[in-house]
A and B are shown apart, each in its own frame.
Chain A
Amino acid sequence: MGTAPDPPTTLPVQPEESVLLTSSAARTSSAVLKLVFQEERFFLILSVFIGVFAGLAVVCFRFAIDWCRIYLLGSAAVVSPLRLLLAPTIAGLVIAVLVIHVFPLVRGSGVNQTKAALYIYNGYIPLRTAVGKFITAALAIGSGQSLGPEDPSLQIGASLASVLGRRMRLSRERMRLIAPVGAAAGLAAAFNAPISAVLFVIEEVIGRWSAGILGSVVLSAVSSVVVMRWFLGSEPLFRIPVVQLHRPSELIAYFILGIVGALASVAFASGVTTLRPRLRDLPEWTQYLQPPLAGLLIGFIGLLGAPQVMGAGYEYIDQAMHGQFTWQFLGILAGLKIITTLLSFVSGTPGGMFAPTLFIGAMLGAAVGGVEHALLPSLNWSPGTYALVGMGVLFAGFLRAPMTSVFMALEVSGNYSIIVPVLVANTFAYLICRGLQPSAIFDVLSRQDGVDLPSMEEQREESILRVEDAMEPPPAVVPDDHDLLAKAAQVVDEAPGNVCLIRLNPVGWGAITKQEIASLMEQGKGGLSLGSRLASGPIPYLHPDHSLDMALRYIDRWPVLPVVSRADFSRLEGVITRQKVLKKYGHFTS
């Protein structure tokens, strides 16, 4: 609206300052301060700080994960069998104790906790959650639990932002938005991909675009990535090989990958949503055993010959992209990663599912590509392309973030020639997953936690009632403002709601009721022009594509409103009445 919001009413007022500010000099300085530090601008500045602090925190988090891995699993690429079994088990036990006794809020998805902060807790996320997530997730990932650092990073960023926002005493509206701003910063730093992080937060957490929100989210994401790159370098997560689409017919191969990826996503999501509540319903003492048991099983899988499925697994994604595994082994790795991630996540071990999702997608994609190449040797096959598209497919199918999945593939690969295969595969995967599993994983998880957070996917798919849905046809005759009152008296009986709409010159619309016309006619003023007798002046008008909610804003004061063409404001397309609007909403809700 262009005006600064009022400061919060809970501010303490210091008497000395109050006295000082009564002077004109003080008023001037106050005006300058207000101009520079009005909340909208201040929020943007604060977003940069949030990005910086989130970036620093994520850098430390990465250090912590690496240190945990070195000290728990050893520095070699090949881990000794004893460490493989003991490290995730013992770390799991420590994590269980910490989660139950010290950091109970670190369980669950960071995305949902950020959404909860936005929609329920007015942006409040305790700092303890960030600290707990930092420690437990670093231990979990470092010890080989099959989880990723992105979701914890997102939550750490959100939590830091929340703390800063509280210290800054922001308004409630800004406080609500601050957690997503921090989340974007955390995710961007963890992924080294600011565009994907911004899109994900907008697509999955906030669910709407506006210049203010976008500006803050972008600033925080960019500043966190700059900080992260300062310390960890600007190398992308994966070395992407040259990606080329030689023939349009190759898209069929990616279409098949989309189907296989969708089925894998559904299986993975079903496993999570089925097993998680069952394990949580077990007796409380089992909560101590679940993470260590999950760790032991994962260690055992590593011992059997698939240590690649332990930890985040980015280095193995990189190897898969460069054709370093056979398609048979890639398929096995994809299957085992689904199992190990299920074990880790449903046991309540803190950590994210972004990295495992990418891992599964990459392995599955390269495996599908390998099979297709074995069946059709003439098919141009690059494991990197299939792995990359596979990552996007799982992101679209499992996390149900279709836009982010496309941009992630582009941002990670830096190659726009991949866009067509990614679009094809992701779209099919997303549509199949939506058909097979109507609720997105984050929505199911939040409901399992007893919180009904708004589903961004459902919001996107929500059908909107528009003005045209409740619009009545225009009356046959619409008088102009220079027409006489008598003309209006002739047509008002046929007009919707017994209100005669009048076309004003040069632009605009007026209205006169049957009662007003009757009263004026009784006074013998039928020879006067309509324009001179309009008591209420111009009335608002709507367009057919406006949402019906827009009509509700006016309909109480003006029970009949003109619906006009966007190209010609003097052309009446229809009329909307209070009765019709309410009737339409009545039908809609029933």
Chain B
Amino acid sequence: MSTEAKTAEAGSYLASRPVTLALLSALAVVSFLLVTGLSRVYRGQQHSLAATWYARGVSDLQANRFAPAASEFRTALRYSPDEYSYQLRLAEALLGLKRIPEAYAYLSTLWERQPDNGTVSLLLARIAVANGKKDEALRFYHNAIYATWPRDEEVRRRETRLDLIEYLLRVNSRTQAQSELLALAANLHDQPDQQTHLGQLLLKAQDYEHALAAFRVSLKSPYRSQADAAGAGAAAFKLGRYPLAQRYLQEAVAANPKDTESAAMLKMTGLVLQMDPFRSQTSLTQRNRLVAQAFSAAGARLTACAARGLASSGPLQPLIEKWTKLKPQITQYRLLRNPDLVEEAMDLAFSVENQTSGWCAAPTESDAALLLIARLHEGS
């Protein structure tokens, strides 16, 4: 073959390539369009199947049928594997089934996708709680509190914080619980039910001052409840404001005689008020009678503890000696003549009650009342 012919042949061959590429491009476009059409049919079917199974799953989840719900959400995810809500619901169903590692796996993936999702953070916090990981739980709870929520953002945040507070109270982190409660209180309205719940949590957190304030807000409302009176009474009782406690507790017991806790507190309040010789507007005669009663009660306590064999165990022995030495002096006449004897007798009675409270058997009601009176007048 001549050179010219070879050149012509090669040229023809090469000239055909742009045309071929153009044809290939056209074929690719057509194929792309065809597959796009096919893809739409496929996607449509997949979405339809996913939605059907998801709806069934939601229905089962709402009825607490976790096992079928999990299976249905899994089926839904088979057809729509990236769907965030399906994965979230599956995680909820798995949590319901106590399959925590599986739920955690889904939730951690979801959290990586949307770290500001409140629901996911809350569920992760609950998993951390179940796993006993306090730091992680706190981190996720705080994430959830400051996260975005699809609707009722304020309510969901409040509920999340309440969840956190209850957790903190369960693990005896009272200081952290108190600070969370203060943050919660700042964001609450004066609605009685909210204030009641807040007060009860504050009571649990031993923040009695704020608890009393919360119950009082609620008690001012026309929708005040027995729980508010009981809570306020309990808070006042813990604060040593016995007259106030008596008023609230009487109201609570009157509203609900079955409230044994309030009734017991009311009884104790009554005893404290009856037995306290240092109450204002108490006559000298009455005071001296109460001092003598308290002294006798302390002696009975010492005798009871000694009978249990604790006398020889050290700390009680000086008290017994002191009580025995002082007893002849505790008469109405001497108490009247010597006001310092009142202080000395009550100090000894308080010492006896304080020291025996940790050693001896459960105190009688009188002993318990004396103990409360001792704490009330501590340092005074």
| Contact A33–B99 (Cβ < 8 Å) | no
8 Å CB contact of B105 from A7, A59, A323: A323
B109 at the interface (CB under 8 A from A): yes
Contacts of B255 in A (CB 8 A): none
Is A11 among interface residues, defined by CB-CB distance under 8 A?
A: yes
- Contact status A33-B11, CB under 8 Å: yes
Is A128 among interface residues, defined by CB-CB distance under 8 A? no
Which one of A49, A66, A77, A241 lies within 8 Å of B42 (CB-CB)? A66
Chain B residues positioned under 8 Å from A78 (CB to CB): 71
The answer on a CB contact under 8 Å between A7 and B13 is: yes
Question: Is B183 positioned at the interface, with any CB of A under 8 Å from its CB?
Answer: no
The listed residue (B9, B35, B79) touching A18 by CB distance below 8 A is B9
A-B pairs, top 3 by smallest CB distance, nearest first, are A322-B105, A18-B8, A30-B11
Cα of A45 to Cα of B21 in the assembled complex, Å? 9
Residue of A nearest to B14 (CB): A33
Q: For A75, what are the chain B residues with a Cβ–Cβ distance below 8 Å?
A: 49, 53, 75, 79
Within the complex, the shortest CB–CB distance from A310 to chain B, in Å, comes to 14
Selected contact of B12 from candidates A6, A11, A53, A164, CB within 8 Å:
A11
Least Cβ distance of A321 to chain B in Å?
Answer: 8
Contact A167 B11 (CB under 8 A): no
- Assuming the contacts A49-B24, A60-B35, asked whether A42 and B75 have C-beta atoms less than 8 A apart, the reply is no
Q: A53-B28, A315-B78 are in contact. Are A241 and B11 (CB under 8 A)?
A: no
What's the least CB distance linking A370 to chain B, in Å? 12
Are A21 and B13 closer than 8 Å at their CB atoms? no
B14 touching A30, Cβ below 8 Å: yes
Which single member of A13, A52, A239 contacts B28 (CB below 8 Å)?
A52
* Interface hub of A13, A14, A59, A164 (most chain B Cβ within 10 A): A13
Contact mask for chain B residues 1-32; partner A; CB cutoff 8 A; 1 contact, 0 none: 00011011111111101101100110010011
Q: Is B38 an interface residue (CB 8 A)?
A: yes
Residues of chain A lying within 8 A (CB to CB) of residue B11: 17, 21, 26, 29-30, 33
Q: Is the CB of A168 within 8 A of B81?
A: no
Partner of A231, one of B25, B39, B78, B102: B39
Interface string of A226-265 (1 = CB under 8 A from B): 0100010101000101100000000000000000000000
Interface check A589, CB cutoff 8 A: no
Which of B13, B24, B49, B105 is the one whose CB lies under 8 Å from A70? B49
Partner of B35, one of A19, A231, A384: A231
Min CB–CB distance A71 → chain B (angstroms): 11
Assembly CA distance A53 to B45 (angstroms):
24
Tell me the bound Cα distance from A315 to B21 in angstroms: 40
A60 partner residues in chain B, CB cutoff 8 A: 35, 38
**Interface presence of A566 (CB below 8 A):** no
Q: Does B106 belong to the interface (CB within 8 Å)? A: yes
Most chain B C-beta atoms within 10 Å of own C-beta, residue among A11, A27, A322: A322
**Chain B residues with CB below 8 A from A22, complex form:** 4, 7-8
Bound: A242/B109 CA distance, A: 9
Q: Is A76 an interface residue (CB 8 A)?
A: yes
Q: How far is the CA of A78 from the CA of B78 in the complex (A)?
A: 12
Are the C-beta atoms of A17 and B14 separated by less than 8 Å? no
Q: Is the CB of B20 within 8 A of A33?
A: no
Contact A37 B14 (CB under 8 A): yes
Across the interface, do A27 and B12 meet the contact criterion of CB distance under 8 Å?
Answer: no
Would B5 and A324 count as touching, CB distance under 8 A?
no
Q: Is the CB of B12 within 8 A of A324?
A: no
Binary interface encoding of chain B residues 21-60 relative to chain A, with 1 for a CB under 8 A from any of its CBs, else 0: 1001100100110011011001001100100010000000
- Contact A14 B12, beta carbon cutoff 8 Å: yes
Q: Which residues of A contact B5 (CB under 8 A)?
A: 13, 18
Does B148 sit at the interface, judged by CB under 8 A?
A: no
Q: For B14, what are the chain A residues with a Cβ–Cβ distance below 8 Å?
A: 7, 30, 33-34, 37
Among residues 1 to 45 in chain A, which have CB atoms less than 8 Å away from a CB atom of chain B?
6-7, 11, 13-14, 17-22, 26-27, 29-30, 33-34, 37, 42, 45
User: B8, B21, B71, B109: which contacts A13 (Cβ < 8 A)?
Assistant: B8
B109: nearest chain-A partner, CB-CB = A239
B interface majority secondary structure:
helix
Q: Which of A37, A77, A167, A321 contacts B75 (CB under 8 A)?
A: A77
Tell whether, in the assembled complex, residue B12 and residue A21 are in contact, meaning their CB atoms are under 8 Å apart: yes
Q: Does any Cβ of B come within 8 Å of A56's Cβ? A: yes
A324 proximity list for chain B (CB < 8 A) = 99, 101-102, 105
Task: Select from chain B the residue with minimum beta-carbon distance to A63.
Answer: B42
- Total interface residues on B, CB under 8 Å, equals 44
Q: Is A17 a contact of B78 with CB atoms below 8 Å? A: no
Asked if A482 is at the interface of the complex by the 8 Å CB criterion, the answer is: no
Question: What CA separation (Å) do A78 and B70 show in the bound complex?
Answer: 11
Interfacial chain B residues near A231, Cβ < 8 Å: 35-36, 39
Given A19-B8, A75-B75, A324-B99, 5 additional A-B pairs, CB 8 A = A17-B12, A22-B8, A30-B7, A53-B31, A241-B109
A residues 151-169 touching B (CB-CB < 8 Å): 164, 167-169
User: Which of B74, B105, B108 lies at the interface centre, i.e. has the most chain A CB atoms within 10 A of its CB?
Assistant: B105
Chain B residue nearest to A167 (CB atoms) is B20
Which positions 57-87 of chain A face chain B at CB distance < 8 Å? 59-60, 63, 66-67, 70, 75-78
**Interface status of B378 (Cβ within 8 A of chain A):** no
Contact in complex: B82, A21 (CB < 8 Å): no
B residues 209-243 touching A (CB-CB < 8 Å): none
Question: Quick one: CB contact mask for B244-270 with A, threshold 8 Å, 1 for yes?
Answer: 000000000000000000000000000
Say whether, besides A33-B18, A53-B28, A63-B38, A11 and B13 are in contact (CB < 8 Å): yes
A315–chain B nearest beta-carbon distance, Å: 6
Q: Which residues of A contact B25 (CB under 8 A)?
A: 49
- How far apart are B319's CB and chain A's nearest CB, in angstroms? 53
Q: Give residues of chain A (317-344) contacting chain B, Cβ–Cβ below 8 Å.
A: 319, 321-324
Most buried by A among B14, B25, B71, B82: B14
* B100-118 CB contacts (< 8 Å) to partner A: 101-102, 105-106, 108-109
Complex Cα gap A49–B28 (Å) = 8
Contacts of A34 in B (CB 8 A): 10, 14
Residues in A neighbouring B10, C-beta threshold 8 A: 6-7, 30, 34
Which chain B residues lie closer than 8 Å to A52 at the CB level?
28, 31-32
> Are B71 and A17 interface neighbours, CB within 8 A?
no
Most chain B beta carbons < 10 A, residue from A26, A33, A319: A33
- Asked if residues B15 and A322 are in contact (CB atoms below 8 Å), the reply is no
Looking across the interface, which residue of chain A has its beta carbon closest to that of B106? Answer: A322
Q: When the two chains form their complex, are residues B28 and A77 in contact, meaning their CB atoms are under 8 A apart?
A: no
- Give the docked Cα–Cα distance between A34 and B105 (Å): 57
Would you give the shortest CB distance from B300 to chain A, in whole angstroms? 56
The answer, among A37, A67, A235, A241, for a CB contact under 8 Å with B82, is A235
Please tell me if the beta carbons of B101 and A322 are within 8 angstroms of each other in the complex: yes
Alpha-carbon distance between A53 and B26 when the two chains are bound, in angstroms: 12
Residues of B with C-beta under 8 A to A13 = 5, 8-9, 12
CA distance A239 to B108 in the complex (A): 11
Tell me the bound Cα distance from A75 to B53 in angstroms: 9
Give chain B residues whose Cβ lies under 8 Å from the Cβ of A233.
82
* Complex alpha-carbon distance, A315 and B74, angstroms: 10
CA distance A59 to B38 in the complex (A): 10
A21 to chain B, nearest CB (A): 4
Whole-angstrom distance from the CB of A39 to the nearest CB of chain B? 9
